[in-house]
Copies of this chain bind each other. A is one copy, B any other.
Amino acid sequence: MRSELELTPIAKGDAADGPHYLALRDQIALGIEMGKLAPGSKLPSERQFQGDSGAARGTIREALFQLEAEGLIYRRDRSGWYVSPPAVTYNPTRWSGFMTYVAEQGRTPATETLSKELVSAPPAVADIFRTAPGTPLYNIHRRRSIDGRAVLVERIIVDPTLAPGLVDRSLDGSLTQILAGDYGLTVVRNRVDMRPCALVKFAADALGVKPGTPGLLVVRTSIGADGRVVEYDQEYWRHDAIRVHVDLDVRG
């Protein structure tokens, strides 16, 4: 969360309502940065903070909400505040998939298939697959986690004529590997669109957060050598779990 920590001292001067909650925010952030508060560990209760800092309840909550907004801490239903695990870095200019880049960062990725079914293509989806509305398409709904914490929910659409019987297999791994290995579908082009969003109900429910919580929608259209869409994927990430990094160098 380094870049967030860098921000604060500069942003501080801007807080109209003075340093009270930001000073407490800085104390907690420093504790996290220094490792006094380990990733995944539980924060003291708001009452404890009150006792220790002598700050008003409202000030404490404002500090906690600020840290949540920055992705440094997160809430678990009824069990209080926890230090967010470090965000994983996603580089859209690399080819590696979730299972690979998460493992490369020393974390443990996991994939859980929530549903897989044949659906009839709505018009907008039919456009993407250059097919007629109502054409049957595989619709796969998965949840992915890092070190046991759900970080994204995704819906993947695949054309059954390219991958017949796909949904009869276990999809709790790398779909790209199955499509390449079992169906010879290799991707030559990835179009990646990312937009910040508020997590809509179906995504929030699957991630166990409140609808409206900030998130990142990553839409990937993978295209094969013949120009056909191999995989169309919509990932809804919780906002504190992903960091997108691109390194652009004029010297190549």
Contact = CB atoms under 8 A, between A and B. Distances in A.
Contacts of A69: 197-200, 211-212
Given A125-B9, A196-B196, A197-B71, A14 B202 contact: yes
Chain B CB count within 10 A is highest, among A6, A16, A189, A250, for A6
Interface string A67-94: 0111100000000000000010000110
Q: Bin the interface of chain A by size.
A: 35 or more
Given A122-B9, A193-B243, A239-B196, A201 B66 contact: yes
A250 B186 CA distance: 11
Contacts of A16: 201-202, 205
Contact of A195 (B87, B124, B195, B234): B87
Given A95-B248, A190-B248, A248-B92, A196 B3 contact: no
Given A10-B122, A214-B214, A198 B68 contact: yes
A196 B125 CA distance: 26
Nearest to A204: B69
Contacts of A122: 6, 9-10
A237 B196 contact: yes
A202 B188 CA distance: 43
A133 to B, nearest CB: 10
B247 A10 contact: no
A118 interface: no
A156 to B, nearest CB: 10
A213 to B, nearest CB: 8
Q: Top 3 nearest A-B pairs by Cβ distance?
A: A14-B202, A9-B122, A69-B198
